[in-house]
A and B are shown apart, each in its own frame.
Chain A
Amino acid sequence: MAERAFNIRRLPGVATLAIGCFVILYIPMVILVGNSFNAGKVIGHWEGVSLHWYVAALHNEAFLAAAQTSLLLATLAALIATITATMAALATTRAADFRGQGAIHLIVNQPLMVPEIVLAIALLIILAQVKQATGYTGLGYLIAAHTTFCIPFAYMPIRARLEGMDLSLETAAADLYASRFYTFRRVTLPLLAPGILAGFMLAFVVSLDDVVMSDFLKSPGQETLPTYLMGELRRNLTSEIYAISSLLLLISVLIVAGSWAATRKKA
């Protein structure tokens, strides 16, 4: 009897497990989005389709303020993280080997390894002192904190793109009278752009979604979308929460889809 090649799909139970995972992952989201269109006030009690809760959300000052904070925070943190990650990736792949190259790689990726709550507690202790000393209670702390854990997410696609890039292209540019800066601008950067875009979007979503760090480090009166939602959950449970969650989900999905399209198109 000829032996059949190993095929993971033929293992008993794999299909069941996969379907189970999908159900657990997506059914609650479908229910959540469905409920956001519920005309009734009481959760779980269906009274017909309506955009009522979306309208309510868009007139909710607290929600709008939180959304604004979140978008600003995510944009700035992702921007700084992407710039830092791009430089780190260039330094670890393009410069001649130097001492401590491995260390840079490790430091950049460290936030992926350290439990977020540990980092949050550590920052909380330090930043409490700083806040007291300086009196500054603005968004800066959150931007700094979000930037740290966004860097590895921005770094991964950028570095992958750089490693896949043919080094002889930069050599060719130098051969053709291009200065280092001209080479970077005309050759390296355009080829790296899809990776940078993907890195930025990944970082943006990760920041937008963060609860632990934001909840620990926000100053009084500051709310991001996730911390606002947490607070609302405890206070008044209306279908408006579903509408807001659906909006958040929509933004994330759009951005992930955009980043996927960006990396696919030019790759």
Chain B
Amino acid sequence: MLDIRDLTKQFGKGDSAVTALHQVSLSIAEGEFFTLLGPSGCGKTTLLRLIAGFEPPSGGALVLDGKDIALMPPNQRPVNTVFQSYALFPHMTVAQNVGFALEAQGRPKAEVARVVEKMLALVQMTHLRDRKSAALSGGQQQRVALARALAPQPRILLLDEPLSALDMKLRKEMQVELKRLQQETGLTFIFVTHDQEEALTMSDRIAVMNGGRLQQIASPRELYDLPENRFVASFIGESNFLMAQKLAGMIEIEGSKTALPSGFAAAYDGPVIVMIRPEHVVLGQGPSDAIRLTAQVERLVYFGTDTHIHMRLRDGTPLVARVQNALRGGAIAKVGDSVPVAFPQDALRLLPDTEA
């Protein structure tokens, strides 16, 4: 339904030019909860502003329902935004804010009133309908901003870090609420966040961005299990990165070998980076197809449900294992111990040996 093709955005000219987006291409399906995830400054807001029409792109196409809308003014696009700062009109009441878009479109009064009531009920703000929007708490402003953007029934709702200004508890509540709203309305959401946990719990699909470039687009599960590069692997969850040699269908780390995991039949032989999640590192012998090494324990960090064991391999590479705490278990290991560690073959991920 929304096709973004080679979208590029450059700010400024000449030497001071900043390229905020480098040829971004992605497709979003009807009814999807799609998340843009990446560190601050990676171009998430810029991409959203291009979709909303607040900025013209420097290149590329933006196709909505088969029509290129790249240069269409924002007030003609069937797309609404929930702003990071909410941007509620301070001189209007809650109800006037929610009805603004419909009035701007010149809809009949009765229809405006009906939709406003429906939207207020949807976000549970009916009791505050006549309150000035400046006199609301952060969470309430959030709800009004949502209702205001939903009222004109846009094709796509854009949400720019809508939860980042809320405290932890409210944030968790609103995450559930937002997901409920999206499922109830069946609307397409493009949601921006820099919080990987938020992205993983809420999204149908996630696009990870860094430095104005798309890194990977996948479902939360795929993103975690099969990251395509080192950036994605380290941005989402925790990871161990190990230097390895690939040779004739085998993979070797510090002299221990195993067969190449399936799906990683890269063409060339030579040095590669291998990634393994801390929860997949086994303390002990592990399965027969595992890579087996020895590591020195440096630090134990207790987390209640599990313990993080910080170790170092013989060549100095840091390694973290996450071990579930048994109900009545003693110490898993002691600082200073040399322990056997194993990497099961199917937990290994090969990453291209580029960028940090």
**Which residue numbers of A lie inside 8 Å of B, CB to CB?**
166, 168-169, 171-179, 182, 186-187, 190-191, 266
Which residues on the A side are within 8 Å of B292 (C-beta)?
Answer: none
A175 touches B90 (CB 8 A): no
With a cutoff of 8 Å between Cβ atoms, the chain B residues found around residue A177 in the complex are: 75-76, 101, 104-105, 152
CB distance from A99 to the nearest CB of B (A): 15
Given contacts A168-B87, A191-B90, contact A176 B100 (CB under 8 A): yes
Q: What are 10 A-B pairs at a CB distance below 8 A? A: A171-B87, A173-B100, A174-B54, A175-B52, A175-B54, A175-B81, A176-B101, A178-B100, A186-B104, A190-B91
Q: Please tell me if the beta carbons of A174 and B100 are within 8 angstroms of each other in the complex.
A: no
The CA of A174 and the CA of B101, in the complex, are separated in Å by 9
B224 interfacial contact with A, CB 8 Å: no
Pick from A169, A176, A266: contact of B148, CB under 8 Å: A176
Distance between Cα atoms of A174 and B100 in the complex (Å): 11
Q: How far is the CB of B322 from chain A (nearest CB, A)?
A: 42
Those 9 A-B pairs whose CB atoms lie nearest each other, nearest first: A176-B101, A172-B87, A178-B104, A168-B87, A174-B74, A177-B104, A177-B75, A175-B81, A174-B75
- Contacts A177-B75, A190-B91, A191-B90: A172 and B83 contacting too (C-beta < 8 A)? yes
B74 surroundings in chain A (CB, below 8 A)? 171, 174-175
CB <8 Å contact, A166 and B87: yes
Scoring B76, B89, B105 by chain A CB atoms within 10 A of each residue's CB, the highest score goes to B89
| B residues adjacent to A (C-beta < 8 A) | 52-54, 73-76, 79-81, 83, 85, 87-91, 100-101, 104-105, 148-149, 152
Which of A172, A174, A186 counts the most chain B CB atoms within 10 A? A172
Do A182 and B104 touch across chains, with their CB atoms under 8 A apart?
A: yes
Min CB–CB distance B116 → chain A (angstroms): 13
Q: A169-B90, A172-B83, A176-B101 are in contact. List 8 more A-B contacts (CB 8 A).
A: A168-B85, A168-B87, A169-B87, A173-B100, A173-B104, A175-B75, A175-B149, A187-B89
Chain A residues with CB under 8 Å of B75's CB are 174-179
Chain A residue nearest to B145 in the complex (CB): A172
Residues of chain B with a CB closer than 8 A to A174's CB: 53-54, 73-75
Query: Nearest Cβ distance between residue A179 and chain B, in whole angstroms?
Result: 6
| Nearest CB in chain B: distance from A243 CB, A | 43
Complex-state Cα separation, A171 to B83, whole angstroms: 10
Given the interface contacts A174-B74, A175-B74, does A166 sit within 8 Å of B85 by beta carbon?
yes
Chain B residues whose CB sits within 8 angstroms of the CB of A179 once the complex forms = 75, 104
- Of chain B, the residue at the smallest CB distance from A167 is B87
Q: Would you give the shortest CB distance from A25 to chain B, in whole angstroms? A: 37
Contacts of B52 in A (CB 8 A): 175
Question: In whole angstroms, how far apart are the Cα atoms of A266 and B91 in the complex?
Answer: 9
Task: Tell me, in angstroms, the Cα distance from A81 to B213 when the chains sit together.
Answer: 51
Query: How far does the alpha carbon of A178 sit from the alpha carbon of B75 in the complex, in Å?
Result: 6
B105: nearest residue on chain A (CB-CB)?
A177
Among residues of A, the one whose C-beta sits closest to the C-beta of B79 is: A175
Q: How far is the CA of A171 from the CA of B89 in the complex (A)?
A: 11
